[in-house]
A and B are shown apart, each in its own frame.
Chain A
């Protein structure tokens, strides 16, 4: 089990920079999510940590040891691939024992280990079957078995649930998390699914265009996005952006939007020009007294809540309100925002303005 430190990691493929100077630390035993849209560099980062790609620059430390240029086989890391990558010419038992054989472990000991792992994963019955005809879930378990059987320092998982059907994913995600809690091994998990990241991760790194956008615990990232990208990428529907021109000074705790004053967390940083007012859908409510009004364009019924699309003078936003509140399309509504969880962004840089709430935690912070 190990702590993993990433320092200024960079990877170029010819003219293309896949990862630009990323830094973050993964604590021992953490379930760590690398989250981002496809092509953001998360898989490349993972592959560099595992030793499947060599970094162009930067260092990787596993347990304090610089492994940046070591072979994958010397890093004592297990990897679970998206398509599982079970050796098709071997049966289940041979697949799981493959990493042990390379270590030259005695046969009897391998056998005990496999029995142990098979019991843990509930795959005792299929041990002697070829991997070809097995279901996605079983393949997933075998891939996990092959990873955990050698008790590595850390696990790398590259969208391991991506190949499963939606129904089964949920179940497997729980199983995976439970397995991690039981073993307590450092795990780095790559996903583009923000729900998966929030649900399973102890900590999340959000990446975009090869850079770390934000690094923190799920709630911090959700409530206090450091950039407009994170605000937009996380949450469904994502954070609403209301655009306005004006100026904000450090120490301000109110802003004026279209004549209506709103309370916001005390700002630590000022900004002049194009400013973006960011608010999560569930932090919007209807207030008949509010002078800030919008037209209701549409409603989406989701059971206990509904998503209401409202057109305001500063842009369209989506509010999540209880289904019990009657709303109808075409109606004009006054809007109120929960003052405790507002983030202002500088539109030019796309970064959050620091406030009492939003500390803008980044990879190097």
Chain B
């Protein structure tokens, strides 16, 4: 080895680097792969010891996740029509029948509404606030910014009890609006600070040019500043969504039915008909998808965004 060199790395160096990176990726991705694999195992395979790496893929977990089932009693057998669909067949094979859809779909939809809703409001309000803090002479600006940041200085759960009581009083418990408001409030400090950093990086001259060119302050904001801040907005949105999407403590405390999100719901699957790990894993896998898709969609921005505006062309 030639020690330190500024030239193109040799083939061998590249190869070693590649092996290291792939190994590291495998180690960190292991739990994720484990969950995804478990979702496609049969209940027996899922608890087999030693764990099965090669197994017969089965969709039983997914069917169990989306349906409620009842055991077929001997007297029911006579009246049953043969199964019509592939998922009915899977359920029949274990001596059960489908009683109806499970609540997972609805909980998942709640997660989507609350997660994306609060992300939208966090980023929308955060962008406006960050722009104001960045560009205007706001009285006691530094104190306000510190106050906004201070809301993040303790774990959100520390205020769980007061919020619980407040929400009960206001009728916001177990409502979509309540959860959107809550997650927006928690995320706002992050989004204001992140976005202020991004907007500070955009030279004021662009807006001033637009003002001179005959546009109003607001037109200058959305025609000139917003396109420039797209990177920052995208990465802030991802951070906000990830928080709101994964939040568990408040969701357990404040939601139980109508507005319950997926995180508190998924563990309850375990109790339905024994320890149904494939169904839990299937729920977790599907739960991962939206954030993954969202992140992949915005990843071009994210890569530049996580350097916090340090790189500008």
Binding site for B on A (CB under 8 A): 50-52, 71-73, 77-79, 81-83, 85-89, 98-99, 102-103, 132, 146, 150
The 8 Å CB contact of A132, one of B203, B216, B227, B313, is: B313
In the complex, are the beta carbons of A99 and B203 less than 8 A apart?
A: no
The 8 Å CB contact of B228, one of A72, A88, A102, is: A88
Q: Across the interface, name the chain B residue whose C-beta is closest to A98.
A: B213
Q: Across the interface, name the chain B residue whose C-beta is closest to A75.
A: B212
Question: Which residues in A have their C-beta under 8 angstroms from that of B88?
Answer: none
B147 touches A (CB below 8 Å): no
B129 touches A (CB below 8 Å): no
Question: Which residues in A have their C-beta under 8 angstroms from that of B215?
Answer: 73, 102
In the complex, are the beta carbons of A146 and B213 less than 8 A apart?
A: yes
B206 touches A (CB below 8 Å): yes
Also in contact, A85 and B227, with CB within 8 A (given A73-B214, A102-B214, A102-B215): no
Question: Which residues in B have their C-beta under 8 angstroms from that of A89?
Answer: 227-228
In the complex, are the beta carbons of A72 and B212 less than 8 A apart?
A: yes
The 8 Å CB contact of A73, one of B206, B212, B227, B228, is: B212
Question: Which residues in B have their C-beta under 8 angstroms from that of A81?
Answer: 205, 208-209
B224 touches A (CB below 8 Å): yes
Q: With A88-B228, A98-B210 given, name 12 new contacts (CB 8 A).
A: A50-B212, A51-B212, A52-B211, A73-B213, A73-B216, A81-B208, A85-B203, A88-B206, A89-B227, A99-B212, A99-B214, A102-B219
Question: Which residues in A have their C-beta under 8 angstroms from that of B213?
Answer: 73, 98-99, 102, 146, 150
> In the bound complex, how far is the Cα of B205 from the Cα of A86, in angstroms?
9
Q: Across the interface, name the chain A residue whose C-beta is closest to B209.
A: A85
In the complex, are the beta carbons of B208 and A79 less than 8 A apart?
A: yes
> In the bound complex, how far is the Cα of B208 from the Cα of A141, in angstroms?
19
A56 to chain B, nearest CB (A): 13
Question: Which residues in B have their C-beta under 8 angstroms from that of A78?
Answer: 212
Question: Which residues in B have their C-beta under 8 angstroms from that of A51?
Answer: 211-212
> In the bound complex, how far is the Cα of B210 from the Cα of A146, in angstroms?
11
Interface code B182-196, partner A: CB below 8 Å = 1, 0 otherwise? Answer: 000000000000000
In the complex, are the beta carbons of A73 and B211 less than 8 A apart?
A: yes
Interface code B207-233, partner A: CB below 8 Å = 1, 0 otherwise? Answer: 011111111100100001001100000
Question: Which residues in B have their C-beta under 8 angstroms from that of A82?
Answer: 205
Chain B facing A: main interface SS: helix
Question: Which residues in A have their C-beta under 8 angstroms from that of B205?
Answer: 81-83, 85
Also in contact, A71 and B206, with CB within 8 A (given A87-B224, A88-B228, A132-B313): no
Q: Across the interface, name the chain A residue whose C-beta is closest to B220.
A: A73
In the assembled complex, 20 residue pairs joining A and B whose CB atoms fall closer than 8 Å, in A order, are A51-B212, A52-B208, A52-B212, A71-B211, A72-B208, A72-B212, A73-B214, A73-B215, A79-B208, A79-B209, A81-B205, A85-B205, A85-B206, A85-B208, A85-B209, A87-B206, A87-B210, A99-B213, A99-B214, A102-B219
B6 to chain A, nearest CB (A): 26
B217 to chain A, nearest CB (A): 9
B141 to chain A, nearest CB (A): 13
In the complex, are the beta carbons of B203 and A83 less than 8 A apart?
A: yes
The 6 A-B pairs with the shortest beta carbon distances in the complex, nearest first, are A102-B214, A85-B205, A99-B213, A85-B209, A89-B227, A72-B211
Question: Which residues in B have their C-beta under 8 angstroms from that of A150?
Answer: 213-214
Question: Which residues in A have their C-beta under 8 angstroms from that of B203?
Answer: 83, 85
Q: Across the interface, name the chain B residue whose C-beta is closest to A158.
A: B205
Q: Across the interface, name the chain A residue whose C-beta is closest to B216.
A: A73
In the complex, are the beta carbons of B313 and A77 less than 8 A apart?
A: no
B205 to chain A, nearest CB (A): 4
Question: Which residues in A have their C-beta under 8 angstroms from that of B209?
Answer: 79, 81, 85-87, 146
Tally A-B pairs: CB < 8 A: 58
> In the bound complex, how far is the Cα of B206 from the Cα of A82, in angstroms?
12
Q: Across the interface, name the chain A residue whose C-beta is closest to B214.
A: A102
> In the bound complex, how far is the Cα of B214 from the Cα of A102, in angstroms?
6
A83 to chain B, nearest CB (A): 6
> In the bound complex, how far is the Cα of B213 from the Cα of A51, in angstroms?
12
Question: Which residues in B have their C-beta under 8 angstroms from that of A72?
Answer: 208, 211-212
> In the bound complex, how far is the Cα of B208 from the Cα of A86, in angstroms?
11
B231 to chain A, nearest CB (A): 11
B218 to chain A, nearest CB (A): 12
A355 to chain B, nearest CB (A): 44
Residue picked from A73, A86, A98, A150, most chain B C-beta under 10 Å: A73
Question: Which residues in A have their C-beta under 8 angstroms from that of B208?
Answer: 52, 72, 79, 81, 85
Question: Which residues in B have their C-beta under 8 angstroms from that of A50?
Answer: 212
> In the bound complex, how far is the Cα of B211 from the Cα of A79, in angstroms?
10
Q: Across the interface, name the chain A residue whose C-beta is closest to B224.
A: A87
B229 to chain A, nearest CB (A): 11
Q: Across the interface, name the chain B residue whose C-beta is closest to A132.
A: B313
Question: Which residues in A have their C-beta under 8 angstroms from that of B212?
Answer: 50-52, 72-73, 77-79, 99
Q: Across the interface, name the chain B residue whose C-beta is closest to A78.
A: B212
> In the bound complex, how far is the Cα of B207 from the Cα of A51, in angstroms?
13
A136 to chain B, nearest CB (A): 15
> In the bound complex, how far is the Cα of B213 from the Cα of A86, in angstroms?
12
B135 to chain A, nearest CB (A): 12
> In the bound complex, how far is the Cα of B206 from the Cα of A87, in angstroms?
6
Question: Which residues in A have their C-beta under 8 angstroms from that of B227?
Answer: 89
Question: Which residues in A have their C-beta under 8 angstroms from that of B210?
Answer: 87, 98
> In the bound complex, how far is the Cα of B213 from the Cα of A78, in angstroms?
7
Question: Which residues in B have their C-beta under 8 angstroms from that of A79?
Answer: 208-209, 212
> In the bound complex, how far is the Cα of B255 from the Cα of A352, in angstroms?
82
Question: Which residues in B have their C-beta under 8 angstroms from that of A83?
Answer: 203, 205
Question: Which residues in B have their C-beta under 8 angstroms from that of A102?
Answer: 213-215, 219
The 8 Å CB contact of B214, one of A85, A86, A87, A103, is: A103
A66 to chain B, nearest CB (A): 19
Residue picked from A50, A98, A146, most chain B C-beta under 10 Å: A98
Residue picked from A77, A82, A87, most chain B C-beta under 10 Å: A87
> In the bound complex, how far is the Cα of B168 from the Cα of A148, in angstroms?
63
> In the bound complex, how far is the Cα of B210 from the Cα of A78, in angstroms?
10
- B 27-76 contacts with A by CB, 8 A: none
> In the bound complex, how far is the Cα of B203 from the Cα of A88, in angstroms?
11
